[in-house]
Amino acid sequence: MPSKLELLPAVDVRDGQAVRLVHGESGTETSYGSPLEAALAWQRAGAEWLHLVDLDAAFGTGDNRALIAEVAGAMDIKVELSGGIRDDDTLAAALATGCTRVNLGTAALETPEWVAKVISEFGDRIAVGLDVRGTTLRGRGWTRDGGDLYETLARLDSEGCARYVVTDIAKDGTLQGPNLELLRNVCAATDRPVVASGGVSSLDDLRAIAELVPLGVEGSIVGKALYAKAFTLEEALEAVSS
Q: Which of 54, 56, 63, 131 is catalytic?
A: 131
Which candidate, 131, 172, 130, places its Cα nearest to that of 154?
Answer: 130
205 is annotated as an active-site residue = no
Query: Which of 126, 240 has the CB closer to ligand LGQLAAA5?
Result: 126
Q: Is 12 in the site for ligand LGQLAAA5 (CB under 6 A)?
A: yes
Q: Give the x/- contact pattern for ligand LGQLAAA5 in 147-186, rule: CB under 6 A.
A: ------------------x-x----x--------------
Q: Are 126 and 119 in contact (CB under 8 A)?
A: yes
> How wide is the angle at C-alpha 29 spanned by C-alphas 239 and 33, nearest 5°?
70
Residues numbered 89 to 148 that lie near ligand LGQLAAA5 (CB under 6 A) are 103-107, 129, 131, 139, 141-142
Instruction: Give the integer Cα–Cα distance in Å for 182 and 46.
Output: 29
> At its nearest, how many Å lie between ligand LGQLAAA5 and the CB of residue 238?
26
Q: What is the end-to-end Cα distance of the chain in Å, rounded?
A: 15
List, as one string, the DSSP characters of 88-99. Answer: HHHHHHHHHTT-
Total residues contacting ligand LGQLAAA5 by CB under 6 A comes to 25
Q: Catalytic residues, which ones?
A: 12, 131
